[in-house]
Amino acid sequence: MSTIPLPSTMQAQVLHAFNTPYTLSNIPIPIPTQKDILLRVGAAGFCHTDAVFASGLMSQNLPRIGSHEFAGTVVALGPDVDTSRIQLEMRVGSFGRAYRPCGSCWECRNNGDEEEGYSAFCPKAGNLGLTADGGFEEFVCVDSRQVAPIPEPLSFVDTAPLMCAGYTTYSAFKKCDLPAGARVGVIGCGGGLGHLALQFGVKMGYQLVGIDNQDATLRLARDLNTGAAIYDARATQPEEVLAHIHGGEGKADAERGLDAVLILPESQKAFDYGFQLLRNHGLGVVVSFPAQGFNFSARDMVFRQIQLVGILPGRQSNMREMLRFAAEHGVRAVTKTYPLAKLNDLVEEYHKGLGGKLVVDMAL
Ligand SMILES: [Zn+2]
Ligand SMILES: [Zn+2]
């Protein structure tokens, strides 16, 4: 193992029981084995999935250190790391998946453009922050294949929220594979994912329509000045949105809907609103996974040929491309930062639902 001098213990925010605060603890620094690397964490974002996990609705792996979107500096390498790709002192961003995939299952062997034996869809892969420890600690062990180099001028605080919220929305646009000028709706456009989706979508050349239903998140989305058309779902019905977009009066017909809609909130109302915006043959994209699921209209699927897809990011090529794109086009999360010791204050702020991204900055 290559390494640079490190202390033997570190501070970490540990979740010991569901629906309780994180506990700031002093614990040993993990030692990277196999293809793992150790990062000195620079910044770590709080994602909706962290809140779902902390409420006990996902795996039962406790105690656990959260955050699956973080950025830091490589400070130690496991013995099997490919040093042509990863070296000490590199600045990298990391997403939660795929931590130690099995390397031999069908997914790992049929992984498209990924490294041989590596797939985010491996059923045995771990997920940092959920089944293994994530970024709310001073040093974190990650799989050397789940990171991407951070391009200048992105800082750690810029990068951390891109690693899940940015990566997910960027991957959603990639999956839609629409021609430039296509019309795309973002339901929940002022949230952590939504406000990044607006920026990525506009910079990718699409016509964006943002929908939200809270004063704070609508303000945040409008203040970005991306050029996207932003609507308040409380005041504007889907047919009014379409009529306005098309410059006409009254009810727009189905052919004049949007080419794709990203449905970000865990809400049936948001899902239905998004489907009503879609044109015939349009694409509905879901990224959230409410316990009760979503109800969809079989008639929309049959008579309007609406397609429904889900997004789990994890393609290495998309991750590297997403960071380069964000650096080049100035895509940045609206962030509010906290020191590691104040993580519970961050969580309290998160539940106010004010939009943007909340990030632990290790420099504070
Ligand atoms: Zn996430
Ligand atoms: Zn596998």
Same domain for 200 and 276: yes
Same domain for 243 and 190: yes
Same domain for 189 and 145: no
Ligand closest to the CA atom of residue 95: 1
Q: Which residues face 102 on adjacent strands?
A: none
At residue 154's C-alpha, the angle toward residues 153 and 156, to 5°, is: 140
Determine the pLDDT at residue 58. 87
Q: How many domains does the chain have?
A: 2
Same domain for 264 and 149: no
Distance 34 CA to ligand 2 centre (A): 16
Distance 95 CA to ligand 1 centre (A): 8
Same domain for 293 and 351: no
**Domain region containing 119:** 2-164+332-361
Asked if 229 contacts 209 with a C-beta cutoff of 8 angstroms, the reply is yes
Distance 121 CA to ligand 2 centre (A): 7
Ligand closest to the CA atom of residue 97: 1
Distance 151 CA to ligand 2 centre (A): 30
Asked if 220 contacts 192 with a C-beta cutoff of 8 angstroms, the reply is no
Ligand closest to the CA atom of residue 313: 1
Other Cβ atoms within 10 Å of 102 Cβ, number: 16
Coil/strand/helix, residue 92? strand
Whether 229 is in a domain gets the answer yes
pLDDT values of the chain reduced to their tens digit, one per residue, 364 residues = 566 889 999 999 999 999 999 999 999 999 999 999 999 999 999 999 999 999 998 888 899 999 999 999 999 999 999 999 999 999 999 999 999 999 999 999 998 777 888 998 999 999 999 999 999 999 999 999 999 999 999 999 999 999 999 999 999 999 999 999 999 999 999 999 999 999 999 999 999 999 999 999 999 999 999 999 999 999 999 999 998 887 754 555 545 799 999 999 999 999 999 999 999 999 999 999 898 999 999 999 999 999 999 998 878 889 999 999 999 999 999 999 999 999 999 999 999 989 899 999 999 9
Distance 69 CA to ligand 1 centre (A): 7
Determine the pLDDT at residue 254. 47
Same domain for 258 and 245: yes
Distance 61 CA to ligand 2 centre (A): 20
Same domain for 158 and 21: yes
Determine the pLDDT at residue 338. 98
Q: Is 244 exposed, middle or buried (0-12, 13-18, 19+ CB in 10 A)?
A: middle
CATH number at residue 243: 3.40.50.720
Whether 320 is in a domain gets the answer no
Distance 167 CA to ligand 1 centre (A): 9
Distance 139 CA to ligand 2 centre (A): 26
Whether 81 is in a domain gets the answer yes
Same domain for 195 and 174: yes
Q: Do β-strands 278-286 and 258-263 pair in parallel, antiparallel, or remain unpaired?
A: parallel
Same domain for 194 and 153: no
Determine the pLDDT at residue 321. 96
Asked if 101 contacts 121 with a C-beta cutoff of 8 angstroms, the reply is no
Distance 43 CA to ligand 2 centre (A): 29
